[in-house]
Amino acid sequence: MSHSFLPVIAIHGGAGTLSRANISPEQELAYHAALQAVLHAGQAVLEQGGSAMEAVCVAVQGLEDCPLFNAGHGAVFTADGTHELDAAVMDGATLAAGAVAGVTRVRNPVLAARAVMQDGQHVLMIGDGAERLAGAAGLDLVEPGYFSTEARRAQLQAAQASAAGAVLDHDGAAALADRPLHEGRKMGTVGAVALDAQGHLAAATSTGGLTNKRPGRVGDTPLIGAGTYADDRTAAVSCTGHGESFIRVAAAHDLCARMAYGGLSLQAAAAAVVHGALPAIGGSGGLIAVDRYGNVCLPFNTEGMYRGVARVGQAPESFIYR
């Protein structure tokens, strides 16, 4: 059954602290160009009658493949100098969900999460078992070095130097100083939420996690209800920020619950989470959300968040700062 609301997709590429003083117009443009390309790709899926699930997977796959964002190629390093990637998808029509955590060889973790959902037996798979399922589903497996970039390695060195009380490594800082959001203090998950022409919602989120995290640490991203949630009766939500805080307040589900039980609008529910529940425990970050009427909300309590929105038939818009 079709409905009268314009299909829409929203995306994010992480929230964090600004480093506007260091940023050249070219670098800022590079981020906008990347966000716009991903919005166009997601919008095209919706325009052609594709599902919200297809649209969010295409968008997140594009963000994973782009080295500017902390997911897939360009993901951050753990304290051991490795990559452990997390991702999740959720279908608002059926509440079907799939997620992977701590994968090291799946080129596009979001597609592995979708494969877990499609397999249908489990919701969350970790490590080697998740990779075997992804391989059996025909997904690309890569050498771990595929995810590494020099900029991220420098970021790890800088984080380790400052954690050890040493002077911030100048090479490390310099390698990332030209990005619009301060990389040392930026959380860098990517995500997408969408409403399709059938009136269905979906959400997808993917991340390398936090720079210098302990190996084995899992954040909010692959936890259904924390970093990712979708329910056609309320909203689709994808979060970015300090994952431990988002887990503790069950952020994505909390937003939907405030709508379902409290009758709040999307905007009021999102504000209560991002400007209420999260800061109350020191949680910084933001989220993107869309409801079944196509209302979109992109709140954050940091200085900036890479983000954008595209409605079918309208020019995509991308934003970095407030």
CB of 123 to ligand ASP, least distance (A): 18
Q: Which residues lie below 8 Å from residue 174, measured CB to CB, with a gap of 6+? A: 154
Between 51 and 228, name the residue whose CB sits nearer to ligand ASP.
228
CB of 166 to ligand ASP, least distance (A): 24
Q: Which helix (H) or strand (E) holds 125?
A: strand 124-126
The reply on whether position 189 binds ligand ASP by CB under 6 A is yes
Task: Classify residue 291 as left (phi > 0), alpha (psi -120 to 50) or beta.
Answer: beta
The region of 21-29, 108-116, 152-160, 186-194 touching ligand ASP under the rule CB under 6 A is: 186-194
The reply on whether position 13 binds ligand ASP by CB under 6 A is no
Q: Shortest Cβ contact with ligand ASP: which residue?
A: 243
The region of 29-37, 127-135, 162-170, 207-215 touching ligand ASP under the rule CB under 6 A is: 207-215
Exactly one of 209, 225, 294, 299 binds ligand ASP (CB under 6 A); that residue is: 209
Exactly one of 54, 220, 254, 291 binds ligand ASP (CB under 6 A); that residue is: 220
Question: Any catalytic annotation for residue 189?
Answer: yes
Between 12 and 105, name the residue whose CB sits nearer to ligand ASP.
12
Task: Classify residue 86 as left (phi > 0), alpha (psi -120 to 50) or beta.
Answer: beta
Paired strand residues for 275: none
Size of the site for ligand ASP (CB under 6 A): 15
Between 40 and 217, name the residue whose CB sits nearer to ligand ASP.
217
Exactly one of 7, 13, 14, 102 binds ligand ASP (CB under 6 A); that residue is: 14
- 3-class SS at 167? coil
Q: Which residues lie below 8 Å from residue 275, measured CB to CB, with a gap of 6+? A: 299, 301
CB of 140 to ligand ASP, least distance (A): 23
CB of 240 to ligand ASP, least distance (A): 4
Q: Which of residues 276-305 bind ligand ASP (CB under 6 A)?
A: none
Exactly one of 87, 113, 187, 277 binds ligand ASP (CB under 6 A); that residue is: 187
CB of 233 to ligand ASP, least distance (A): 25
CA distance 263 to 34: 36
- 3-class SS at 304? strand
Rounded alpha-carbon distances, angstroms, from residue 74 to 10, 45, 60, 65, 198: 21, 25, 14, 8, 34
- Among residues 189, 207, 221, 240, which one is catalytic? 189
Q: Which helix (H) or strand (E) holds 131?
A: helix 127-136
In the β-sheet with 228-230, what is the strand arrangement from edge to edge?
Answer: 228-230, 235-241, 285-291, 296-297
Q: 16 with 31: CB under 8 angstroms?
A: no
Q: Which of residues 143-182 bind ligand ASP (CB under 6 A)?
A: none
CB of 230 to ligand ASP, least distance (A): 17
Nearest to 239 by CA among 90, 74, 61: 90
The reply on whether position 241 binds ligand ASP by CB under 6 A is yes
Q: Which residues lie below 8 Å from residue 4, measured CB to CB, with a gap of 6+? A: none
Between 219 and 308, name the residue whose CB sits nearer to ligand ASP.
219
CA distance 8 to 110: 20
Residues designated as active site: 189
Residues that bind ligand ASP (CB under 6 A): 14, 70, 187-189, 207, 209-210, 219-221, 227, 240-241, 243
